């Protein structure tokens, strides 16, 4: 491998978002999970958490067979069947804050938030299709 390529890879790794991750709850469509994986990979998020509390979504998905396979190599995926177990695991990884999305009047837009210099946090999202 050329020195220039090695430097590029080291630079990318140094810019990863080690203090930010995403939690997805009961997402049934693997294509949506794949899209989140690719987005996380693009912005340097190195891990995501999938929680399946609804029995109809409880089966484990096989991710990364097609379009997301490149992202799957760089983004770790952790799956859980219950919220307390997931939260405990997330806390043990050092995340101090967990923010949840809820679209209601008065909600704060993610793009209005100052995410610089914060302690480790997670963003929990539900995706309905």
Question: Has residue 118 got a pLDDT over 90?
Answer: no
9 in a structural domain: no
pLDDT in tens, 12-67: 777 777 778 888 888 878 788 888 888 888 888 888 999 888 877 665 555 555 54
Distance CA 100, CA 31 (A): 22
Domain that holds residue 112: 17-125
> Do β-strands 76-80 and 47-51 pair in parallel, antiparallel, or remain unpaired?
parallel
Q: Does residue 6 lie within any of the structural domains?
A: no
Specify the CATH number for the domain of residue 68: 3.40.1280.10
pLDDT of residue 66: 56
Q: Residue 121's pLDDT band (boundaries 50, 70, 90)?
A: low
User: Residue 59: what pLDDT?
Assistant: 56
8 Å CB contact between 23 and 86? yes
Give the pLDDT of residue 128.
46
| Residue 47 domain flag | yes
Q: Where residue 4 falls among pLDDT bands split at 50, 70, 90?
A: confident
pLDDT level of residue 126 (50, 70, 90 thresholds) = low
Supply the pTM of this predicted model.
0.74
Inside any domain, residue 67: yes
Query: How far apart, in whole angstroms, are the C-alpha atoms of residue 85 and residue 89?
Result: 6
Closest CA to 121 of 11, 22, 8: 22
Domain count within the chain: 1
> Does the residue 4 lie in any domain?
no
- Please check whether residue 73 lies inside any domain of the structure: yes
Please indicate, yes or no, if residue 49 is contained in any of the structural domains: yes
Q: For residue 32, is it within any domain?
A: yes
Q: Are 82 and 53 in contact (CB under 8 A)?
A: yes
pLDDT in tens, 69-106: 667 678 889 999 888 999 999 988 888 777 777 777 88
List phi, psi (to 5°) of 41. -60, -40
- Half-sphere exposure of residue 69: CA atoms within 13 angstroms, side-chain side: 3
Q: Which residue, 55, 71, 53, 52, is CA-closest to 63?
A: 71
């Amino acid at each position: 491998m050329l020195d220039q390529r090695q430097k590029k890879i080291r630079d990318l790794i140094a810019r990863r978002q080690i203090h930010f991750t995403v939690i997805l709850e009961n997402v049934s469509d693997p294509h949506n999970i794949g899209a989140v994986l690719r987005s996380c990979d693009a912005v340097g998020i190195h891990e995501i958490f999938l929680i399946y509390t609804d029995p109809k979504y409880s089966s484990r998905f096989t991710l990364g067979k097609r379009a997301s396979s490149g992202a799957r190599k760089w983004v770790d995926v952790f799956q859980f069947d219950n919220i307390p177990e997931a939260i405990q695991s997330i806390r043990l990884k050092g995340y101090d804050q967990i923010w949840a999305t809820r679209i209601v009047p008065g909600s704060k837009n993610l793009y209005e938030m100052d995410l610089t210099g914060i302690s480790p946090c997670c963003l929990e999202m539900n995706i309905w299709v």
